[in-house]
């Protein structure tokens, strides 16, 4: 079957299968409350979150659209409407791990990069533990990998949270634009480090340096990463 470019009429998210699951909705609400309590209000107030399985609906099957991805998108900032796309069905062992990860992105869906991805994975683990959900096989993979950027970013941010429990929650408040792409932002690690005394700053730099070599090689438009500047000591 030859696929057509574009999408069916209507919003992009309507090309994907809705997830109608009260348990999932309750988890999203719990996660958002926890995120706000720990890290402050979202950059865009969240009024409604739609869940979509990233599989095409029948009306979209003839269109060339990606499937089996996970993403958090703000589709209407004025009304606070967000969509979370998930690559797993409810019931999959990694479903709540991924849903918890994407819920962290509700704090600011315009932040891209490995600091943010690690932040979201740490939050996901804690939410799944708090609510008695399985964290799938993420722990095993994340602890074992030596080059997987999701696992490395998770371990990096977990170490930063453990070492800096008081300073860590503010990290998401320090952001900067991704060069000429004003629609995308990243965590400004130097701005966050600047809030610490020099000795503590050096500890944070040492933690990040243990992961920077691989993460720097995994940068892209979507996955920004920059280690602390040399003069941030």
Residues 121-167 pLDDT 10s: 999 999 999 999 999 999 999 999 999 999 999 999 999 999 999 99
Cα separation of 131 and 108, whole Å? 23
Query: What pLDDT was estimated at residue 6?
Result: 75
133-153: b (≥16 Cβ within 10 Å) or e? bebbebeeebeeeeeebbbbb
Cα separation of 155 and 208, whole Å? 10
With cut-offs at 50, 70 and 90, classify the pLDDT of residue 58. Answer: very high
Contacts of 202 (CB under 8 A, 6+ apart): 233
Q: Furthest-apart CA pair in the chain: how many Å?
A: 62
Contact 88, 55 (CB under 8 A): no
Which stretch of DSSP H or E encloses residue 145? none
pLDDT exceeds 60 at position 190: yes
What is the rounded average pLDDT for all residues in the chain?
94
Residue 65 backbone class (left: φ over 0; alpha: ψ -120 to 50; beta: rest)? beta
Q: What percent of the chain has pLDDT over 70?
A: 97
pLDDT exceeds 70 at position 232: no
């Amino acid at each position: 079957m030859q696929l057509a470019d574009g999408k069916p009429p209507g919003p992009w998210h309507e090309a994907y299968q809705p997830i109608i699951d009260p348990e999932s909705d309750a988890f999203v609400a719990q996660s958002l409350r926890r995120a706000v309590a720990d890290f402050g209000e979202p950059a865009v107030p969240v009024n409604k979150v739609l869940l979509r399985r990233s599989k095409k609906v029948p009306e979209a099957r003839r269109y060339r659209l990606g499937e089996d991805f996970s993403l958090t998108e703000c589709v209407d900032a004025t009304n606070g409407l967000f969509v979370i796309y998930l690559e797993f069905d409810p019931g999959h062992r990694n479903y709540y791990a991924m849903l918890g990860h994407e819920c962290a992105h509700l704090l600011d869906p315009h932040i891209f990069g490995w600091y943010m991805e690690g932040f979201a994975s740490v939050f996901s683990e804690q939410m799944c533990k708090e609510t008695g959900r399985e964290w799938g096989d993420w722990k095993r993979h994340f602890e074992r990998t030596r080059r997987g950027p999701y696992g490395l970013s998770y371990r990096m941010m977990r170490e930063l949270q453990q070492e800096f429990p008081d300073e860590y929650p503010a990290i998401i408040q320090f952001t900067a634009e991704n060069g000429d792409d004003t629609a995308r932002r990243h965590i400004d690690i130097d701005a966050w480090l600047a809030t610490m005394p020099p000795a503590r700053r050096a500890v944070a730099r040492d933690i990040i340096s243990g992961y920077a070599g691989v993460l720097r090689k995994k940068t892209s438009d979507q996955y920004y990463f920059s280690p602390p500047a040399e003069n941030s000591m």
